Chains A and B, each alone.
Chain A
Amino acid sequence: KNQVEQSPQSLIILEGKNCTLQCNYTVSPFSNLRWYKQDTGRGPVSLTIMTFSENTKSNGRYTATLDADTKQSSLHITASQLSDSASYICVVTDRGSTLGRLYFGRGTQLTVWP
């Protein structure tokens, strides 16, 4: 069964600290993995996308890694800011169908305190 599991479910950190969010997936055949940021009451916004051959991708203070062998990804946030408080969603796309189906994780709720 294709699944995407994220951990931790929620995380609280102090402003300026770093943190790492985890994503494990069983989706096969794999096409790509994307991290989204979803602010409360808003739609998700894409942060990074990685294909099978990529193992790291950065977007400002966000750095995503991918290990396609172990089917694990992480999102590292450096020098956190209050505006980083949001839900971070891991989304994996398969390539086994015409639709290229998306599998969504439940997200990690990050709260940054001053």
Chain B
Amino acid sequence: EADIYQTPRYLVIGTGKKITLECSQTMGHDKMYWYQQDPGMELHLIHYSYGVNSTEKGDLSSESTVSRIRTEHFPLTLESARPSHTSQYLCASSPPGSAGPDTQYFGPGTRLTVL
């Protein structure tokens, strides 16, 4: 099993609160990704990073922001949570030398509910 961790696993929070979802990996992977997944739906890429100080937006527009100050850490922040942000958020990483994101290891996910 891959060494990629996400906290918290579950979060219920009120509208307007600022939240940060943590993702860390101990495998030395340079590429990291954030996906959003609604029940019964496909994963949508919302952010990715090719390394420290590199962040890009994915295919699905998201009001969240990310940062990559350390190789092992890729947190996602929502400045003001809304009910429309209710979803599962999955973090993934790929090792150096991989051709791209096709060799991805996923974390367990954070299930976010905004009331």
Contact = CB atoms under 8 A, between A and B. Distances in A.
A102 B102 contact: yes
Interface of A: 4, 9, 31-32, 34, 41-46, 49, 89, 93, 95, 98-102, 104-107, 109
Interface of B: 1, 4, 6, 9, 40-45, 48, 59, 90-92, 99-104, 106-109, 111
Contacts of A89: 42-43
- Closest 8 CB pairs between A and B? A100-B100, A43-B106, A104-B42, A93-B102, A104-B43, A106-B42, A44-B106, A43-B107
Given A42-B109, A43-B90, A106 B40 contact: yes
Nearest to A51: B102
A9 B43 CA distance: 15
A41 B8 CA distance: 13
Contact of A93 (B42, B90, B101): B101
A102 B92 CA distance: 13
A12 B92 CA distance: 29
Nearest to B40: A106
Nearest to B10: A41
Nearest to A100: B100
